Structure 1
């Protein structure tokens, strides 16, 4: 068995494996309540997925990350934005850098698409390592505003907007 992890774009043929990984990764957690897998299906069905990547090890899918389209208004104008949710790794392989690699590859893909800003609702000790900041997100009105709401400018040299609004893809509003 190889330790090598490959990352590639998810395809329609990966849907069942991705669904199983998400369900396993979020089983027994305080968040998700198995709704994360349904969220991914709804985002895909709505055409709001911007970047969907899988991690493979020995030809098996062991992780997945999704970035979806967001409606962002910053300083009075539209800004291309993406929301990170969810990132999932099979439970036996968590903590080995797979999620990290997926997120970094996803951020690179967003930059290639010209996306200016990304948001995440997640753990405050984990996401800042990628550049996400609760201080930047606090400048945006959002139904998800709070200490776990973070944002990052994908061009590290870009000025932070003074304020605006950040709305996730419609599928997020249909959850719970």
Structure 2
């Protein structure tokens, strides 16, 4: 658990947070240009399938104000399996956007993945936002994936690790509806 300014606490999500996380994702994604896209259902499916590696909430005053989830991926590079995680989804209460809540959740999640010995993380997201964490379009382009394209990024969680020359990256089965 870590404390941020403005009374935010970042902590591991629990089963008791399920309804609040669901409501948060529905509210956060209803305000995007695309409208609700099923992220709340994705969180529940990943949990039900046992594919959640890290699930964190930002809490303020006893209420869930943000959530980030990293799930298991099947990644192969150079004929070897890599321990991998996909970042998705991330949501912050609309009234709290641009206050660093999402960034704090992502950084805490990446730290937790490093502690678990995870080698690589992927994200499908905005190419101007995720590079601040170390995600790279160039690294992800080395991997075949149904999500390959201009928003598919990856990062080695050990900054000293060599980049794989190529391979395949597949998200958990719950992402099948998105591919």
TM-score range, shorter chain: over 0.9
After superposition, residues 38-57 of structure 1 pair within 5 angstroms as 38-57=41-60
Counterpart of 2:76 (choices 73, 78, 86) is 73
Using the TM superposition, give the Cα deviation of residue 4 of structure 1 relative to its aligned residue in structure 2, in angstroms. Answer: 1.7
Counterpart of 1:24 (choices 15, 27, 44) is 27
Which residue does the alignment assign to 1:93?
96
The TM-score normalised by the length of structure 2 is 0.95
Count matched residues.
Answer: 175
* Structure 2: 5+ residue stretches without partners: none
1:32 and 1:171 map into 2 onto residues whose CA distance is: 20
1:55 and 1:174 map into 2 onto residues whose CA distance is: 27
Deviations 1:119-157 (A, max 9, x none): 000000000000000000000000000010000000000
Which residue does the alignment assign to 2:115?
112
1:27 and 1:81 map into 2 onto residues whose CA distance is: 29
Using the TM superposition, give the Cα deviation of residue 59 of structure 1 relative to its aligned residue in structure 2, in angstroms. Answer: 1.3
1:114 and 1:60 map into 2 onto residues whose CA distance is: 31
Which residue does the alignment assign to 1:3?
6
After superposition, residues 145-164 of structure 1 pair within 5 angstroms as 145-164=148-167
Counterpart of 1:173 (choices 163, 172, 176) is 176
Q: Which deviates more, 73-82 or 22-31?
A: 22-31
2:86 equivalent to 1:83: yes
Counterpart of 1:121 (choices 115, 119, 124) is 124
From the superposition, tell whether residues 110 and 148 of structure 1 become closer, same or farther in structure 2 (CA, over 3 Å). same
2:52 equivalent to 1:63: no
Deviations 1:57-93 (A, max 9, x none): 1111100000000000011100000000011000000
Deviating beyond 6 angstroms after TM superposition, the runs of 4 or more aligned structure 1 residues are none
Contact 1:39–1:175 (CA<8 Å) still a contact in 2?
Answer: no
